[in-house]
Amino acid sequence: MKATSTPAEVAQAFGNSVGEIWKSMQGLNLPLPALNTLQADYLKQATELWNQTLQKGDGKPAAPSDRRFSAQDWAGNPASAYIAQMYLLNARTLMQMAEAVEGDAKTKQRVRFAVQQWVDAASPSNYLALNPEAQRKALETKGESISQGLKHLWNDVQQGHLSQTDESVFEVGRNVATTEGAVVFENELFQLIEYKPLTAKVFERPMLFVPPCINKYYIMDLQPDNSLIRYTVEQGHRVFVVSWRNPDESMARFTWDQYIEEAAIRAIREVQDISGSKQLDTLGFCVGGTILATALAVLAARGEHPAASVTLLTTLLDFSNTGILDIFVDETMVQVREMTLGPKSPGGGSLLKGQELASTFSFLRPNDLVWNYVVGNYLKGETPPPFDLLYWNSDSTNLPGPMYCWYLRNTYHENKLMQPGALTVCGEKVDLGAIKAPVYVYASREDHIVPWDAAYKNTQVLRGAKGRVRFVMGASGHIAGVINPPAKGKRSHWIGTGSTLPADAQDWFAKAKEHPGSWWTDWADWLKPHAGKQIAAPKAYGNRTHKAIEPAPGRYVKQKA
Q: Which helix (H) or strand (E) holds 404?
A: helix 401-407
Q: Phi-psi category of 95—alpha, beta or left, where left has phi over 0 and alpha has psi -120 to 50?
A: alpha
User: Which DSSP state fits 188?
Assistant: S
CB 167 within 8 A of CB 528: no
Alpha-carbon distances, residue 418 vs 236, 317, 329, 358, 428 (angstroms)? 34, 6, 18, 27, 15
| Interatomic CA distance for residues 157 and 3, integer angstroms | 27
Burial of 230 (0-12, 13-18, 19+ CB in 10 A): buried
| Interatomic CA distance for residues 559 and 553, integer angstroms | 11
Angle of helix 7-25 relative to helix 32-54, nearest 10 degrees, comes to: 170
CB 315 within 8 A of CB 366: no
Catalytic: which of 213, 286, 405, 426? 286
Active site residue 405: no
Burial of 375 (0-12, 13-18, 19+ CB in 10 A): buried
| Interatomic CA distance for residues 183 and 128, integer angstroms | 49
Which residues are CB-contacts of 500 (< 8 A; sequence separation ≥ 6)?
A: 467
Which of 351, 277, 364, 288 has its CA nearest to residue 325? 364
| Interatomic CA distance for residues 237 and 243, integer angstroms | 18
CB 198 within 8 A of CB 233: yes
User: Which DSSP state fits 518?
Assistant: -
User: Which DSSP state fits 255?
Assistant: -
CA dihedral sign, ordered 225, 231, 236, 240: negative
Angle of helix 32-54 relative to helix 78-100, nearest 10 degrees, comes to: 170
Cα torsion 92, 94, 97, 102 to 10°: value is -130
Q: State how beta strands 280-285 and 307-313 pair.
A: parallel
**What are the DSSP calls for 439-483, one per residue?**
EEEEEETT-SSS-HHHHHTHHHH-GGGTT-EEEEEESS-TTTTTS
CA 456 to chain centre: 18
Which of 366, 467, 394, 367 has its CA nearest to residue 218? 394
Alpha-carbon distances, residue 354 vs 117, 165, 216 (angstroms)? 21, 18, 11
Q: Which residues are catalytic?
A: 286
